[in-house]
Structure 1
Amino acid sequence: MWTSDGYTLPTPLEPSAGEIVSGAKLASYLKSAWPTSPRNVLLFLQDELSMDDFTAYGGVYGNKEDSAFVNLESALQASTPMVLPALAWTAADSVEKIFQQELAVPALNIAPSELSQLQLNTDQPSLLVIRLPYTAGAHSKELLRKNDETIGYVLNTLRDQSAPYTAVYTGLRPSHVIQDTSMSWELAGRSLLQAPPEQAVKPPLTFNDTKGKPCILLWANQLNVGYDRGQFFDLGSLTFNGSVSLNGSFCNGTLSKLVLNYQNVLNFKSFQVIFFMHKIFFPVSARDWSVMEQVQLNYDGQTAIFNASRGIYSPAEYSFHCQKVSNAQSPLLVPRVVTDNATRWRVLFTDFQIQGFNVTGNFSYASDCASFFTPAIWMGLVTSLLMVLILTYGLHMLMQLSTMDRFDDPKGPSISVPQTE
């Protein structure tokens, strides 16, 4: 945690190694920092982050040119940073809420590219949340370097606007988990295997109406798109880390439109995925239904439209869920015209869930696309029916069997048996 030039942060007691605090303890640290720091808060939330990342990829050995945190290290050296202890995993998902409660303002999830269009009021507190991705493995350093460039861009933008700020860089969960392999003498015998803690589930993408209330929710494990038989590109990492822009989206009582704006996807400078949903009243069921009519792809001035009325519907008060939404193999997405640009695209959404009406904060009960009579159930029913028919025919044939009442040839003379006295 650090501030812009001209401001200082209090120096708290150094946290002991391995100290983990609760959400209330973190709030007390923040209260001590607000009197001497700007109330315009930049919260850089990375999916995963650990101190080992700074040790492995930072300039701790003096080689700053090879560091993945050049802008971050420069910002920390120019101020007096405040190192906060680790937050308990049970409260990790509430980091954003803790800052909202302390500042008494709602959080604004913003993409770095939109920051230049925002004018901050230094007299009023604000909370800007910039979400950063993370991927463990060989590309960790490159991704951390890109995140550092994003941090540098945001700080330079506020510096150009002469807006004072307080910046916080943290992770929602650790990127390196040290497994405790120590075993006491008493526990040296057989013991049950313990499953590792479950990974935190990424929150759904939320679009708010003009009153600030959520009206559209979207979640998916993967949002894969492919062009001209090329490899799939997963939009999920860009969609659920806060970097996607929702400009052009809107919602009302009967129509919901969710627009996902991307840049530099599959060699296209601009790329959009648009979901169109209508709320329609069906007299037969005497209730309102949410029907997704189209999924539209806009890329560099061209358009590909998929009709999505084959099964993408649910009661208006429910959400829609489907394990696979695709334009291949029993598709739910069908090109509007056979010769349309949509035939050049491959779309595959896995574990897809969306709700465009009657949103109360989180997803409502999900209406799943899987029908009750799946192919496996039909195969079992047909096989069982065939077996029953064969068994019935066999029993019928056995019941029709009868023994012969005579054993001689009816065309020849009858058998005579002489009697002897």
Structure 2
Amino acid sequence: MAVSWVSAAPAIMVFLLFLSTILSTGSCGDQVPLVLWSSEGYPLPRQSPPPAGSVVSAAQLDSYLSSALSAAPQNTLLFLQDELSVDDFTVFGGVFGNKQDSAFPHLESALQASSSPLVLPALSWGGSSAILPLLQQHLGTPPLYLDPTSLAQLRLNASVPTLLVIHLPYKAGSGLMSPRDALSGNDVVIGQVLDIMKAQDVLYTAIYTALKPSRVVQDLSEGVQSIGRTLLQAPVPVDPYPPLQFPKNATPCILLWAESLLVSVQRDNKWETVDLGPLTFGTSPNVTLTNTMCNTTKTRLVLNYQDILQFKAFSLTFSMSQGFYPVSARNWSTLDFVEVEYDGLSVVFNGSRNIYAPVEYSYHCQSVTNIRDALLVPFNPKDIAASQWMLSFSDFQIQGFNVTKLAFSYANDCAGFFTPGIWMGLLTSLLMLLILTYGLHMITQLRTMDRFDDPKGPAISVPQNE
């Protein structure tokens, strides 16, 4: 049936392929989609899409970007949305190319005009946080954050690589507008940017993705066959490898786990990136823990590597401390700093202001980075060396105190419970409650008249002067 649609309507062939690829993934899970296309008339190298249902990791994304950007225009547009899931395309996309019923008319038009777009329906959450360092590595240029107004005043040179990041302003499901209106507003921004590029006659490569999914659905394992009360039990996620522990052959005092540990360095105006996750975790890690120590007040986890990013000696140090805070009347642990040491030099990033947890808990955050929405900031803002390094840890979890078993304690997550939408709802509800209370108070103060005029009495006469 799909073949007959393509032959009957070649103009929407690409979009139907886009929808069919998305529909084959089944569930959104903890992944975000990624769409890559080029300007009209500029072909991209054809690449085999991932198998249906598979999740694209950061390493696989690097391979896809390497093939696509090798022959693509060097002016790259990265449309970065806060939240996006595959279901947003299937629910709010046009049916059979009907753009009047779609929240993505400009995106669909761009995909139809492109000769060979790349669609990755399920990109791992860690991979989405790594896309910016990977693009900087392939293009060899830092990102430039723009909006359509600023882009219209910029004159691009087709011979010079540029990485333009357009942060889409609207957030689906924020409560201020419906998800459809939010996605439609972002699509309008995409259309404005593409029109500007077309008006300047500049070839480009465009990427549309998000930082995290808008709909997180945990899939039940196919092996789960239990019934009864266990149907109400949430599935336990299975980590691909156990956490790193110190010491290894005794009761640990430090635990560390991350999906990826991306480290990038700028050398000769080009970014070089390495993922230290496979070298740190798993059954055969290639890391040593020399100089690691822990006691009741301070812990220091030192990850030592060899021949990383062309450095003979390379290490990552996570230094934590714990103390009593009178305001909260309890002990808290903080990640004081993350230090990168390379061939005798070092650069230090402070994390104590943003990375903390009760001493009985572990700390968890989906993204710990020193770039956008940074949790790690340079100790010395004027340090030029700090600006040449980028750290991006995805699904990061660490515990340096009160480790009782070979597993993390309850996690204190960096994602706050009271989001701006929740605060606005609470304040609006409080305002309505005050208005209702004032109205009830006014009603209770009403009094009926205790004297009335006698209709049978003499009428009141008012003399008139002639």
Give the number of the structure whose alpha-carbon radius of gyration is greater: 1
The alignment's TM-score, normalised by the length of structure 2, stands at: 0.41
